[in-house]
């Protein structure tokens, strides 16, 4: 790991998350629970979001639920991340108020530990950057829903920026997509078509896309569910390092 690179990457990531949450970066180091008012910039993103870097937890909450969250906040800051402590009860509270709230499974957040080098494209395949026309041509197939978004999901579609694809002739074998993830951040989503799995193509598309993101002056981010042990290891093998854990409650279709 390149300490200087990682420190700067960490600074950028924390700054972007603080803007999204409506807190200060110092709140991430407080070893306490910080409850922040959801900023206007995040109104379309979530009703509730909690993030921890392991040294304090920040909960960002929509104004209507601020009082409820404050009254139900756990004593230990990290317990705000546990689904049965705030997330599920908040969704129930929403139901009581006639609002349809959905909570998302927790995720792990990764950023590069050092400058990520693109893994060479295997012989027999062609790798290249793709743009919106590729996205639009393939999103409805639902074959690449991590890298292109799910069919009909206009919210995620709007976040999609560009991608890197390995082609076997005209057939996409592996796809990595870059999504807007806050100021200067691009989230990488990856899929390998079932018949091409087990050939190490995931790290090829991820690292090549990370290189494109870096060339554009942005920072790559990568997320996975903690239950997705294989995706977790894929992130590590590509040079990403876990830095945070997050959970969200949203309105449907976000």
Candidates 32, 54, 117, 141: give the one binding other proteins (CB under 8 A). Answer: 54
**Residue recorded with tokens 């129930």:** 92
As a whole number of angstroms, the distance between CA 221 and CA 242 comes to 10
Residue 57 CB, nearest approach to other proteins (Å): 8
Cβ atoms of 108 and 223 within 8 Å: the answer is yes
Binding-site size for other proteins (CB under 8 A) equals 33
Residue 44 binds to other proteins (criterion: CB under 8 A): no
**Residue 242, Cβ neighbours under 10 Å: how many?**
18
Kindly identify the residues of this chain, within the stretch 131-170, that bind other proteins according to CB under 8 A: none
196 binds other proteins (CB under 8 A): no
- Sole binder of other proteins in the list 70, 105, 141, 171 (CB under 8 A): 105
Cβ proximity of 23 and 58 under 8 Å: yes
d(C-alpha 231, C-alpha 28), whole Å: 26
Residue with tokens 């390149």: 2
Judged by CB under 8 A, which of 19, 39, 45, 83 binds other proteins? 83
Single out the segment in contact with other proteins by CB under 8 A; choices: 40-48, 121-129, 182-190, 235-243: 235-243
Query: Considering only residues 58, 242, 248, 249, which one is a binding residue for other proteins as defined by CB under 8 A?
Result: 242
Q: Select 176 or 243, whichever has its Cβ closest to other proteins.
A: 243
Cα(188)–Cα(185) distance, integer angstroms: 10
* 237 lies in the binding site for other proteins (CB under 8 A): yes
Residue of 21, 86, 90, 108 interacting with other proteins (CB under 8 A): 108
For position 53 contacting other proteins by CB under 8 A, the verdict is yes
| 147, 177 contact by CB (below 8 A) | yes
At which residue do the structure tokens 């579609």 appear?
157
Cβ-count burial of 26 within 10 angstroms (0-12 exposed, 13-18 middle, 19+ buried)? exposed
The yes or no reply on residue 229 touching other proteins (CB under 8 A) is yes
Stretch that binds other proteins, among 35-43, 60-68, 166-174, 237-245 (CB under 8 A): 237-245
- Tell me the Ramachandran region of residue 119: left when phi exceeds 0, alpha when psi lies from -120 to 50, beta otherwise: beta
Q: Which residues would be at the binding site for other proteins (CB under 8 A)?
A: 31, 52-55, 57, 78-79, 81-84, 87-88, 105-106, 108, 200, 225-230, 232-233, 236-237, 241-245
């Amino acid at each position: 790991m390149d300490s200087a690179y990682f420190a700067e990457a960490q600074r950028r990531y924390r700054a972007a998350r603080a803007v999204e949450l409506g807190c200060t970066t110092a709140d991430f180091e407080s070893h306490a629970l910080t409850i922040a008012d959801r900023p206007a910039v995040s109104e379309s993103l979530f009703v509730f979001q909690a993030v921890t870097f392991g040294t304090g937890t920040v909960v960002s909450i929509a104004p209507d639920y601020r009082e409820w969250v404050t009254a139900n906040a756990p004593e230990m800051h990290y317990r705000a991340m546990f689904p049965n402590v705030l997330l599920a009860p908040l969704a129930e509270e929403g139901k009581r108020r006639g609002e349809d709230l959905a909570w998302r499974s927790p995720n792990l957040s990764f950023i590069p530990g050092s400058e990520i080098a693109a893994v060479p494209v295997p012989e027999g395949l062609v790798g290249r950057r793709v743009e919106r026309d590729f996205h639009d041509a393939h999103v409805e197939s639902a074959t690449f829903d991590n890298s292109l978004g799910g069919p009909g999901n206009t919210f995620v579609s709007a976040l999609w920026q560009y991608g890197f694809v390995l082609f076997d002739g005209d057939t996409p074998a592996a796809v990595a997509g870059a999504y807007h993830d806050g100021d200067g951040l691009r989230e990488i989503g990856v899929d390998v078509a079932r018949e091409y799995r087990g050939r190490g193509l995931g790290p090829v598309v991820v690292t090549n896309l990370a290189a494109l993101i870096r060339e554009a002056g942005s920072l790559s981010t990568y997320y996975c569910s903690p239950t997705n042990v294989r995706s977790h290891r894929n992130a590590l093998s590509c040079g990403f390092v876990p830095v945070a854990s997050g959970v969200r409650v949203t309105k449907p279709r976000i």
